[in-house]
Amino acid sequence: MIQAEVSIYPMATKTTSASFYIAKAIESIQKVENLRHQINPMGTILESGDIDVINGAVKTMMETVHNLGIARVEVVIKIDSRRDKHVKMEEKLDSIKKQMS
C-alpha cells in the first residue's frame, strides 16, 4: 500500500487564502478509481496500491489549479510505500494512538 501526503501551493494569488484552489484540486480527484484521500489542515493524504494512480492524481490536482488561472503552482509530495504489509491510513493512526499514554 502506498500513502502520499500532497500539499498544493498556488503562487501569486490575489489574496493570502488558498482554500478555494485547494478545494477545487481535491474535487478534481474525488472520482479517481483505486484512490482514497483524506484531507488535513496541512495537506491531503492519497492512498492507493499503485504509484501511477497517485502520480496521476497529483498531476490532475496541479493542472486543476493551473486551469483556474494560476501560472505557478508548488507541489510538495511525501511518499510512504510499504510492501511487507497492507496497511491503510486509518490503521497507521490507530497504531500510533495505541502507543500513546
Q: What is the pLDDT of residues 50-67, one digit of tens each?
A: 999 999 999 999 999 999
Q: What is the pLDDT of residues 18-50, one digit of tens each?
A: 999 999 999 999 999 999 999 999 999 999 999
Domains plus CATH for the chain? 2-99 (3.30.70.930)
CA geometry: angle 71, 73, 74, nearest 5 deg: 150
Question: 44: which strand partners?
Answer: 6, 39
Which is more confidently placed, 14 or 28?
28
Q: What is the pLDDT of residues 78-100, one digit of tens each?
A: 999 999 988 898 998 999 999 99
Question: What's residue 57's pLDDT?
Answer: 98
Contact 69, 9 (CB under 8 A): no
